[in-house]
Amino acid sequence: MTTDLADNDVQEPAVPPSPVTDHGPSGLVRAHLVIASVFLVVATLLLAAASIELAVPGAYSGIVLFSYGRLVPIATAALLYGWLTIGLIGAIYYILPRLTSGPLRHEGAALVALILVTVGVATGMASIYLGASEGRAYQEMPLWSDVLLLAGFVLVAWVATATVAHRRDRLGPAEWYLVAATWWLVLISVVGTLPGVGGYAGEIQSSFYRAGLTGLWFAAAGVGVVYYLIPRLAGADPIQPSAVSVLGFWSLAFVWAATGPRDLIYGAGPDWLETLGVAASIALVVPVAVIVTDFVLEMRGRWLQIPDRVTLRFLVAGGAMLAIVPLADIVATTRTSSAIVQFTGWVAANDALMFLGAVSMWLFAFAYHVLGTGASPAREQVATWHYRYTMVGLGLVLVSVWLGAALAGFTWASGANSGLFVDTGAGFFNTAARLKPYLGVAAIGMAVYALAQGLFVVGAFSPVARSGPELPAVDAEPIDLEIEGGVATVRWGQLRWGAVSLFLIVGTMMWFLPSLDPAIASSTILADESRIYPAGSAEARGRAVYLREGCAVCHTQEVRAVVPDVGLGPVSVAGDYVHEDPIQRGYRRLGPDLMHLGSREGSNSYEFLFAHLADPRVERPWSFMPAYSYLSDADLDALAVYLTSLK
């Protein structure tokens, strides 16, 4: 990611590169878009299947592929690392040569990177299906898949850096984001790949990884794509560096990765870490507002001049969704509201807003723009349908899940305040009954969203109906960026060292230092008596089954010091998890919390649990849990033993 050139030198290549035109994507870029679109279709179909399973419990009873705890991690891997990551890498390969008026460097390495990432994602998904889940949110793929991805990301960063090296001090906002995003992707992937971090320190590591991946890769690369598309749609020069664009870039780099502790509010980690996470989540409004404002200012007087209305619709929709992201996260982070919505579907809806919403919208816009969808009225009509049904489907998902999340949280609080029921065992019926209609609407919305992606494939890639009158097109302006003295910008040295230094500073504050807290490494009586799993024991085998089946997707193992958790047992502390790697804290309660399941009358019977796991709707017809009848008796036995050991 470095170069032998001095930081302040601007050296052009000895042989001027040939002009780069907008006639269409190269075969390499098209390959990225095609492969990414395959992952998109797979991801959305699996998410739709998972949503249907919640709306119609037992719909796929006893079918291992459709077990909810496996479906969701597989779909997440396909969405994040297949569709979004491969698609954004393709966008980087397309955009950087056009902004720097030079060729894409090291195309062979770029092709190898594509192969490594594709194989890593595909085999990682297969491994989860076969039961090799790592049991960490966003990180369920096995270590060797992560290593393949990391190797591919290093090559991507090398290609991107080499491509812009000859224009190093004449880079604009699009290049800042796109190049820095590749470096951040490598750094955050190193954090996520590090093995052997157990106990609550591992959960802190995972929270930092999730926030860094979201903000420093997906958001940063997506914003870079928008900075390229806005002037290209209007046939204007590239967006010039300004004080606003500089502020947006550096504030995004510093703030977003620091929001990781929002996942740990009222958790067992250090209180000061939670406070920093709350502050960062509130501060996230600043970079997002600055970036969106910069987009709007650049489009002044140009809205009606853009003939490519399809691309513009997706671009604007993505920007609007990005503006909502920090507001929705504040609700999940602020202590008063977090006590209600944490461990509900609120965070899942926020993730959908970011990944199925903002970043996907920008990738749709990019794909339609570079593939020339507007060249045919028929293809433009298909793309318009894609936009409408995508927006309708996503809207149904977001509204229903947000409303259901708030209702679930208030149900837990009302049960504790009234003393009429506790949200464990049969008492969880009160939550399930209220959630059911909202889950039904979410399933419909996700199905519509998934089907809309079939229209995307047709509209973007099919040569259907190319005959007919041509729509007006915008001629590409010559790309040149003149940076004069005194203009606010980001120089090469500042970009390189500043981007890496900020990452290291935030990583130290939000991951390394809190992991050194003595309380995290000091085991409690609970940990020593009921959270040690000797190799070969029934408890250890049962915990392995718990990880394999993705039970943490629907169950938590943490009791918070908040009203909704009253009656669940003693409040959890970091020392309770010392002997676990990874801990199964979970992130959503579609089923009851299991932290102290073995101490609860009526649910801690081995016989009951064995039968309940095989067919949960015999005793509790309202249960969302999939039937694990496909497991062997030995696996059911081990899982039941593990659950009864959770005292």
Q: Which residue has the tokens 């989540």?
A: 281
Cα 357 versus chain centre, distance: 11
Other Cβ atoms within 10 Å of 126 Cβ, number: 13
55 part of a folded domain: yes
Q: Please check whether residue 216 is in contact with residue 503, taking contact to mean a CB–CB distance below 8 angstroms.
A: yes
Q: How far apart are CA 635 and CA 545, in angstroms?
A: 7
Q: Please check whether residue 203 is in contact with residue 585, taking contact to mean a CB–CB distance below 8 angstroms.
A: yes
What sign results for the dihedral spanned by CA atoms 44, 48, 54, 55?
positive
Q: Please check whether residue 588 is in contact with residue 347, taking contact to mean a CB–CB distance below 8 angstroms.
A: yes
Same domain assignment for residues 500 and 575: no
Question: What is the domain-level CATH number for residue 575?
Answer: 1.10.760.10
61 part of a folded domain: yes
Same domain assignment for residues 505 and 568: no
16 part of a folded domain: no
595 part of a folded domain: yes
Same domain assignment for residues 159 and 230: yes
Q: How far apart are CA 626 and CA 554, in angstroms?
A: 10
Can you read off the two tokens belonging to residue 537? Answer: 């024991």
**Among the three residues 490, 515, 540, which one is the final residue of a domain in this structure?**
515
Same domain assignment for residues 328 and 383: yes
Same domain assignment for residues 179 and 292: yes
What sign results for the dihedral spanned by CA atoms 77, 78, 82, 87?
negative
Domain that holds residue 85: 27-472+482-515
Q: What is the pTM of this model?
A: 0.91
Question: What is the domain-level CATH number for residue 461?
Answer: 1.20.210.10
Query: Residue 620: what residue type?
Result: R
Q: Give kind and range of the element (H or E) at residue 584.
A: none
Same domain assignment for residues 183 and 320: yes
Q: How far apart are CA 600 and CA 50, in angstroms?
A: 29
361 part of a folded domain: yes
Nearest to 79 by CA among 276, 213, 201, 192: 213
632 part of a folded domain: yes
Same domain assignment for residues 200 and 74: yes
Q: Which residue has the tokens 């004080």?
A: 243
Q: For 76, phi and psi rounded to 5 degrees?
A: -65, -45
Same domain assignment for residues 615 and 505: no
Residues 6 or more apart in contact with residue 516 via CB below 8 angstroms: none
20 part of a folded domain: no
What pLDDT score was predicted for residue 375? 58
Same domain assignment for residues 503 and 552: no
| Burial (0-12, 13-18, 19+ Cβ within 10 Å), 123 | middle
Q: How far apart are CA 43 and CA 619, in angstroms?
A: 33
Q: Please check whether residue 583 is in contact with residue 202, taking contact to mean a CB–CB distance below 8 angstroms.
A: yes
Q: Please check whether residue 114 is in contact with residue 89, taking contact to mean a CB–CB distance below 8 angstroms.
A: yes
Please tell me the total count of domains within the chain.
2
Q: Please check whether residue 402 is in contact with residue 441, taking contact to mean a CB–CB distance below 8 angstroms.
A: no
Same domain assignment for residues 543 and 446: no
Task: Give the mean pLDDT per block of 10 residues along the chain (647 residues).
Answer: 37 37 71 97 97 89 84 96 98 93 92 97 95 89 94 97 87 93 96 85 93 96 95 78 89 92 90 92 94 84 71 92 95 92 94 97 94 73 93 97 96 90 89 94 98 92 48 39 58 88 93 89 90 92 94 94 93 93 91 92 86 91 90 94 93
Residues 6 or more apart in contact with residue 238 via CB below 8 angstroms: 99, 172, 174, 228, 231, 479, 481
Same domain assignment for residues 450 and 331: yes
240 part of a folded domain: yes
Can you read off the two tokens belonging to residue 481? Answer: 């960026």
What pLDDT score was predicted for residue 305? 65
Other Cβ atoms within 10 Å of 579 Cβ, number: 16
Same domain assignment for residues 320 and 201: yes
Nearest to 166 by CA among 240, 237, 102: 102
What pLDDT score was predicted for residue 489? 79
What pLDDT score was predicted for residue 24? 57
